[in-house]
């Protein structure tokens, strides 16, 4: 009897030692699933429910970001969106504010082209002269040019466009003094210095003279007693301006140094008047 009781006790004890202890059970649903063991940390496993590691800062549970509003529904919540928002009236933000990506009525991204400062892209459908706004992107149904204050159509005829050598505000001209240059080698300033960084351009020259006491060289100089830009020679026989005699056209125009005057000089003092007229533009 004692032997039977002892055998039963030993059998129970042996079973308690040999039977496995169940800590918990979990069904692995997705690659982001986890197995939790009672009284321990969660375990992060792979898609095969293997290679499980404790969840920690270095081994976090992956998170998925999902928008809180469906496409086409009324917008709500704060930004961090995968899409944008449509507004019939565009919002006006102030410095430091966050804004939503703007869409048009067909969910296309709305892009606003901006120019310098507060000027925006200007669209002119009707090609009327006098359109303002010099900044930003201007689009026209016909070719236009900005004249310094407004947009105007380019001018031309059946043969082509009319191209000016310079802006009208930059034209200059010099008219000969009464009696002309007589018996002197003192240079005459025909165009004063144009200002900082601005050059004088001589585009045409017209010279006629009375009977001279002798032949003389003449010159256009860049600056007072400066570099000769053009040189010629006058004979003693008188000339006049009939049919444009004595007119020289420079193409391209003669370019002076920035902020430097242009002068004309007879290099030999001779009797008889020398009449000089000139013109051109200023620019950079």
Question: Over the stretch 124-143, which tens digit does the pLDDT of each residue have?
Answer: 555 566 666 555 556 666 77
- Whole-Å CA distances, 32 to 43, 46, 50, 60, 61: 11, 8, 12, 10, 7
The pLDDT tens digits for 105-116 are 888 988 876 654
Domains of the chain: 100-163 (no CATH), 169-283 (2.60.120)
pLDDT digit string, tens, across residues 32-85 = 444 444 445 677 777 777 888 777 777 777 766 667 777 667 888 887 766 788
Backbone torsions φ then ψ of 11, nearest 5 degrees: -65, -45
Query: Tokens 């410095």 belong to which residue?
Result: 95
**Of 28 and 169, more confident:** 169
Per-residue confidence (pLDDT) for residue 151, from 0 to 100: 76
Pick the residue with more confidence: 278 or 133?
278
The pLDDT value recorded for residue 157 is: 75
Phi-psi region of 39 (alpha: psi -120 to 50; beta: other; left: phi over 0): left
> What integer pLDDT is reported at residue 23 of this predicted model?
31
User: Residues of the chain with pLDDT > 90: what percent?
Assistant: 37
For the chain, report the end-to-end CA distance as a whole number of angstroms: 126
- The values of phi and psi at residue 160, to 5°, are 140, -175
- Is pTM beyond 0.85? Reply is no
The per-residue pLDDT for 30 is 40
């Amino acid at each position: 009897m004692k032997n039977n009781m002892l055998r039963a006790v030993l059998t129970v004890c042996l079973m308690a030692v040999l039977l496995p202890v169940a800590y918990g059970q979990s069904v692995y649903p997705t690659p982001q699933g986890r197995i939790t063991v009672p009284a321990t940390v969660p375990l992060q496993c792979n898609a095969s429910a293997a290679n499980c590691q404790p969840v920690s800062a270095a081994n976090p549970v992956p998170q998925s970001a999902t928008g809180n509003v469906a496409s086409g529904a009324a917008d709500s919540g704060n930004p961090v969106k995968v899409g944008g928002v449509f507004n019939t009236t565009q919002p006006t933000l102030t410095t430091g504010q966050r804004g939503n990506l703007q869409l048009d009525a067909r969910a296309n991204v709305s892009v606003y082209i901006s120019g310098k400062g507060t000027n925006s892209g200007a669209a002119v459908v009707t090609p009327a002269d006098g359109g303002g706004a010099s900044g930003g992107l201007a689009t026209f149904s016909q070719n236009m040019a900005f004249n310094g204050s407004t947009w105007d159509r380019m001018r031309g005829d059946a043969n082509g466009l009319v191209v000016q050598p310079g802006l009208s505000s930059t034209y200059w001209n010099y008219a000969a003094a009464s009696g002309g240059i007589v018996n002197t080698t003192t240079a005459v300033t025909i165009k004063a210095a144009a200002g900082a960084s601005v050059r004088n351009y001589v585009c045409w020259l017209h010279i006629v003279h009375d009977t001279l006491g002798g032949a003389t060289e003449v010159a256009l100089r860049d600056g007072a007693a400066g570099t000769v830009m053009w040189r010629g020679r006058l004979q003693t026989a008188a000339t006049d301006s009939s049919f444009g005699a004595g007119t020289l056209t420079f193409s391209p125009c003669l370019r002076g140094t920035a902020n430097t005057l242009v002068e004309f000089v007879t290099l030999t003092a001779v009797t008889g008047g020398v009449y000089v007229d000139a013109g051109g533009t200023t620019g950079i």
